[in-house]
Amino acid sequence: MAGSQRLHWGIRREASTAAGDARSAGTRLKNLIYGAGILVTLGFGYLYITDTRASIHQWLVVPSLRLIHYDPEEAHHKGVSYIQGLFAFNLHPRERGNNDIERGDLRVEVFGHVLDNPIGTSAGIDKDADIPSPLFALGPAIVEVGGATPLPQEGNPKPRVFRLPSQNALINRYGLNSKGADHVTKNLRQRVREFARSLGLGLGPDGERAVLDGEAKVPPGSLIPGKVLAVQMAKNKTTPDGDIEAIARDYVYCVDQLAKYADILVVNVSSPNTPGLRDLQAVGPLTSILSAVVDAAQLTDRRTKPAVMVKVSPDEDSDEQISGICQAVWASGVDGVIVGNTTKKRPDVIPKGYIMPAHEERLLTEMGGYSGPQMFERTLALVGRYRARLDQGQPKDAPAPTTSKPEQQTPVKQAPKKPAATPTKSAIDAAEASTARDAARLKPLTPEAEAASKQPIIKLPETPFASSAAKLQASEAADDAATSSDLSTPPTSLSSKRPAVPKSATSPGPAIKPAEPASKVIFATGGITTGEQCLQILNAGASVCQVYTAMMYGGVGTITRMKREMREAMGTKPNSAAS
């Protein structure tokens, strides 16, 4: 009897152990499934949240920032900080895939660089060059940082930024707040040195020199093939408005500090929030300032030199003002013009007849520059007018530049301020000198441009949705260019007015052949919100569209969306290859 009981309890114990083992195995399997599910969810969540195509960025992130940070300036600063922090842990949003490279349907050439697409970000998004790399990750081919001033300055008193949500517009009177050119230089230098170290090119100055001299085979500013970095400069608010030499020294100081780390230098003379700045767009002062900047840029201590552009106001729109600015551009040897900035004017609301909320209507009385979709038609018209005027070349009866390159000058940089260049008598005609300099500087000087110059650059076709006004302006520009003796080859279509590889870059002519005039490049900014609008701007004569306010309302996916809209408007098939 006792033995029977022991046997019974043994069987029960064995059965209990077996059941426990089965439950344990089941629990482990469940945990494994749950763990795998969590990992897969996190993985897909990571891929979704960090993809610029995710709608969450426009419809959740942007409204949340506005709700948490009511002040627009605070929301902007926090947004920059968030992106900077996410980038440090590789959690930042980025454009996935290589659509631009694989398809090649949006390529353009600018200053010898073959860019992946014609869209860029405007200055003001990243005033102190804190996040150029995260911005490039969002898909633009051009990132503009700044504007940097020689000395740090606070800008205008706060509050100084105001939202008009019903119009997707902003009013700002920042007043060129900046941590100064030295701070921006430090950020850009550190970025170059970290890049050099990642490639094993050396640490510190040695690695930096290797990158700047082209050993990395990338543009020295952007550090990314197919993309370029623009750095905007401005004078200090305290520099006397009437002292052109002092103002020129401000810009030259910025060149001395920043030029090594930029692919493009941008001279800002168009901010509406700095007293006296827009007065510098008069022919005499502008020519003097731009000539000093061009001369200083040519002394940049690296193998290739940065291009120089000037950013002009949309409010200086009379024929006389546009003609004067273009005259200064040709006389000084500047490579191009950025058409557009914020405006002092207050455009009509859209859609027509819309009644704005009372609090937004009150904000229209605030001082400052206005930016938003309402600016687009004006920007489009200005691009056509600047294209037509610039394609005419420098007037033969134009006065000689007020400054020229010094006979002897070294690339040694002086601090904190350099004396103004001493004018010397030009040995040749000013117009011919400017033309020769432009032609030489527009030759491809980068590896990707050398390779691409052997094949035609893909042109964006004329779009059926371009406004009749834009078509008329662009047509007039083509007619003017075709009859101008300053241009050797007339454009054959609207899109062909965009810069192409000069003949001298692919098939050098006889040594005695006079230099052919180089076309001035136009970037456009102001109200550009959609891909279709970008195509209209390009067909009117610009090479690049820049966005600012559109990103403030559309979020980090704005550029990806615009490129998709451009391809849809062009009728490009998803899997089509570049022709």
Active centre residues (catalytic): 271
Please give the distance of CA 231 from its chain centroid, rounded to a whole number.
9
Distance between terminal CA atoms of the chain? 95
Distance of alpha carbon 280 from alpha carbon 287, whole angstroms: 9
Cα 235 to Cα 248, 316, 317, 361, 404: the distances in Å are 8, 19, 23, 33, 21
Closest CA to 101 of 225, 218, 230, 263: 225
DSSP state at residue 546: E
How is residue 268 written in tokens?
């800002």
Amino acid at residue number 222: S
How is residue 253 written in tokens?
């100081």
Distance of alpha carbon 492 from alpha carbon 461, whole angstroms: 12
Closest CA to 379 of 232, 523, 281: 523
Pairing of strands 521-525, 544-547: parallel
Is the bond leading into 416 cis (omega within 30 degrees of zero)? Answer: yes
The set of residues, in sequence order, having a beta carbon less than 8 Å from that of 103 and lying 6+ positions away, is: 567, 572, 576, 577, 578
Distance of alpha carbon 519 from alpha carbon 498, whole angstroms: 8
Q: How many CA atoms, within 13 angstroms, populate the side-chain half-sphere of residue 154?
A: 5
Distance of alpha carbon 35 from alpha carbon 536, whole angstroms: 51
How is residue 397 written in tokens?
């009866």
Q: Tokens 């970025």 label which residue?
A: 191
> What is the rounded radius of gyration, in angstroms, for the C-alpha atoms of the chain?
28
- What are phi and psi for residue 144, nearest 5 degrees? -110, 120
Distance of alpha carbon 519 from alpha carbon 502, whole angstroms: 9
Cα 73 to Cα 151, 172, 298, 442: the distances in Å are 22, 9, 37, 38
How is residue 28 written in tokens?
């482990």
Pairing of strands 169-172, 369-371: antiparallel
- The beta strands (E) that lie in 71-181 are given as 108-110, 113-115, 119-121, 142-148, 161-164, 169-172
Triad 424, 425, 428: Cα angle to 5° = 130
Q: Tokens 């914020």 label which residue?
A: 342
Cα 439 to Cα 93, 112, 400, 503, 538: the distances in Å are 39, 11, 19, 10, 22
Is the bond leading into 351 cis (omega within 30 degrees of zero)? Answer: yes
Please give the distance of CA 187 from its chain centroid, rounded to a whole number.
17
